[in-house]
Amino acid sequence: MTAASAGADLVQVALPVPLRQLFDYRVPAGTMVPEPGCRVRVPFGRRTLTGVVLARTARSDLPPERLKNLAAIVDRQPLLAPADLAMLTWIADYYLHPVGEVCAAALPVLLRGDKPPREAEDRRWHLTTAGRERLAAGAGRAPLQFRLLAALAENDAGLDAAALRLLSPRWRTALDALVRDDCVAMAPLPEAYRGLREDPPAATPGQAEAIAAIGQSHGFRCHLVHGITGSGKTEIYLRCIERVLAQGRQCLVLVPEIALTPQLESRFRNRFDAVIDVLHSGLTETQRLQAWQRAAGGRSAVVIGTRSAVFVPLARPGLVILDEEHDPSYKQQEGFRYHARDVAIKRASLAGIPVVLGSATPSLESYHNALQGRFQLTQLHERPTRAGLPAVHLLDLAHLPVEHGISRPLRDAIGACRARGEQSLLFLNRRGFAPAIYCPACGWLAHCPRCDARLTWHRAADRLRCHHCGHVGSRPRQCPQCGEPEVISLGQGTENIHDTLQQLFPGAVIERIDRDTTRRRGELEQRLTRVHAGEAEILVGTQMLSKGHDFPGVTLVGIVDCDQLLFSADFRASERLFQLVTQVAGRCGRAERPGTVLIQTRFPQSPWLQPVIRHDYAAFADMALAERQAADYPPYTHLALLRAEAAGRNVALAFLEAMHRLAQELAVTTPSVEVMEPLPSLMEKRAGRYRAQLLVQSRQRAPLHQFLARWRGAIEASRRSRTVRWSLDVDPVDLY
Ligand SMILES: [Zn+2]
Ligand SMILES: [Zn+2]
């Protein structure tokens, strides 16, 4: 802290308001000027808000009479370091999002208010020799102090604040008095990293090459580790982390889904004697705050977490790892629409440290960056277990006997698999029983009243559900249009496949894993445990099964229907198809036994299925990149999408037409930016609101961002923007 000089000191504060600017405040004369990264309380309109100081400054654009004084300074020490603030400022600029909301997203909930940070709860106190003597001398005039001494005497490892609080709400005063008298001392905190618990296994040549390449990078470098499923990418991570921890630095490890953290965490704990924090949704806010403080204070060695953990500050950052980098869940789809991969790369570059992206099916963006030499590519073509990749065969649904979605060869293969005592896995990316309810007499289809979408019949719950807005209805007894006494269900969902399998294989133990069967906390873990224990003979599930879980007992994978992805309007559909099928197929044949993958399709001649059969990522990527280049899609162009929705039909579209005119005026000065015509969204009505979108693209990033900043300012200033709900998505993943 520095002393204020004659009241001329100003600070620029990021406030949690939907405005993309900083707010200047005067530091009252005689008050210490807060450092950047400290929270302050400031008057804002009629309210008082808590914000984060981003910078000090000597002058403001505001006339002096309009400058207000800070109301209070919350933190004496900055919560966020200059590197963190630089990252958050970059994110706010890049995603055109209010910097105050970005800062709030980066802080744990308990630090978003005006409470000073609580003392690190992992501190422990223990008894000193003087304390033992005082205890032996008896209670005297301070009974609470005596109780604390007695409790501490029973716990050699010491007690933390939570334990002491249980003794009395007034524990703190009594403890302070005991600390002053040297009767109690604070126990030293555990070292963040204490060493290895086990010797690492010998690395394969491919692993060794990747480990060496990553270890040789000094400063920032982005590494893409493309390894086939089961090639041991985690071992590469562990070895790189080991080197960074030995240097006394910290690692951040990001995974797409929380259900993956237990298996990763146990591998980390088996390898490292270290403070490892896992940030997941099961934590209380207090636990989250503690983990955040340990990371920011340098007291943890490794932080594992999902998307939002990318913001956790590290006192001594050494390495960032992003596993399954292709996973779409790294992109936040609502509100503050950032992509954790791109934030992680920027973060590593600002910190001057390497970042490792790993995947068996890299995103085309990352692979393209590797081909261009911007990322360093390492490829692993072998599994350390020497288990071969599964053989993949196509089953032509048009020419095979099919019963309730299961073709005869698939049925026979499941039966043979059972007879050998092995597990099979069936993948279908559609939950529920049937995706359509239909009247055979008049052709009526059950539609969601609030969306342009069909309702799915969930038979166990006997409900019709909309998978887009959550609408729930009951199945009509007769056709509401023509009165036909019986309506029928069409198509298959996971519930239906489960039933069919149960009929085909009476007595088989079948585990279904989808959003319906894993709604309650811990349910997914329980089901996975049953699968691992070998209790389940057949697994049926949605894309939740594609997310990197290991199922060593599975030797047969059946893809029930891949055709919906072959003919999707989404330009990323072929990429998703390759990723999904490869990832699901990769669950198979992990141990010594080779596996088989059977893909059911009506279009076995599709060129997109050939690289899938041959496990040929490079061939797939060449084909897909050529298509993207021809169509001017990412990674050859950069996109931004303005979305709008409103309760009235055509209101959103009319708004976008006005914004389109505004954009064309602005784009005159940035000719490299192309502004498309506004269109109704593919699913125009959703949750009772009409939606439309407007795409902007450019081959160059810089002019696009100059344009977007000006355009967004003009949109915010326009009156029309108040008639709709709108958002601007930079690098959108979902265009439909
Ligand atoms: Zn009818
Ligand atoms: Zn709906």
pLDDT digits (tens, 9 = 90+) for 200-244: 999 999 999 999 999 988 899 999 999 988 888 999 999 999 999
Tell me which range, 15-19, 89-93, 719-723, is most confidently predicted by mean pLDDT.
89-93
Distance 475 CA to ligand 1 centre (A): 13
pLDDT over threshold 70, residue 8: no
Query: Running DSSP on this structure, what letter comes out for residue 445?
Result: B
DSSP-based three-state secondary structure for 73:
strand
Distance 434 CA to ligand 1 centre (A): 18
Q: How confident is the model at residue 165 (pLDDT cuts 50, 70, 90)?
A: confident
Please, which residues have CB within 8 angstroms of residue 303's CB and are 6 or more apart in sequence?
250, 251, 252, 253, 276, 277, 278, 279, 291, 295, 309, 312, 314
DSSP string, 262-281: HHHHHHHHHHEEE-EEEE-T
Selection from 290, 276, 302, 337 nearest residue 105 by Cα:
337
- The rounded distance, in Å, linking the Cα atoms of 171 and 373 is 60
What residues sit around ligand 1, an ion, with C-beta below 5 angstroms?
Answer: 439, 441-442, 444, 479, 481-482, 484
CB 24 within 8 A of CB 10: yes
Distance 466 CA to ligand 2 centre (A): 5
Selection from 566, 541, 561 nearest residue 551 by Cα:
541
Q: Which ligand is nearest to the CA of 437?
A: 1
CA 628 to chain centre: 26
- The rounded distance, in Å, linking the Cα atoms of 16 and 82 is 19
Distance 472 CA to ligand 1 centre (A): 21
pLDDT over threshold 70, residue 120: no
Spell out the long-range contacts of 412-419 with Cβ–Cβ below 8 A and sequence spacing 24 or more.
413/556, 413/558, 413/596, 413/598, 414/501, 414/504, 414/505, 414/538, 414/556, 414/558, 415/505, 417/555, 417/556, 418/505, 418/508, 418/537, 418/538
Q: How confident is the model at residue 172 (pLDDT cuts 50, 70, 90)?
A: confident
**pLDDT tens for residues 479-534?**
999 999 999 998 899 999 999 999 999 999 999 999 899 888 888 888 888 888 88
Q: Which ligand is nearest to the CA of 439?
A: 1
Rounded alpha-carbon distances, angstroms, from residue 506 to 385, 414, 497, 712: 35, 13, 14, 60
Cis ω before 362 (30° cut-off from 0): no
Distance 448 CA to ligand 2 centre (A): 5
What predicted TM-score, i.e. pTM, was given to this entire model?
Answer: 0.89
Q: Which ligand is nearest to the CA of 442?
A: 1
CB 164 within 8 A of CB 171: yes
Q: Note the pLDDT of residue 1.
A: 39
Average pLDDT over residues 438-453: 93
DSSP-based three-state secondary structure for 19:
coil
pLDDT over threshold 50, residue 575: yes
Determine if residue 297 is left, alpha or beta; phi over 0 gives left, psi from -120 to 50 gives alpha, anything else beta. alpha
Q: Note the pLDDT of residue 456.
A: 94
The more confident residue out of 99 and 565 is 99
- The rounded distance, in Å, linking the Cα atoms of 48 and 503 is 65
Distance 610 CA to ligand 1 centre (A): 42
pLDDT over threshold 60, residue 719: yes
- The rounded distance, in Å, linking the Cα atoms of 175 and 579 is 57
Q: Which ligand is nearest to the CA of 487?
A: 1
Q: Which ligand is nearest to the CA of 441?
A: 1
Average pLDDT over residues 293-298: 93
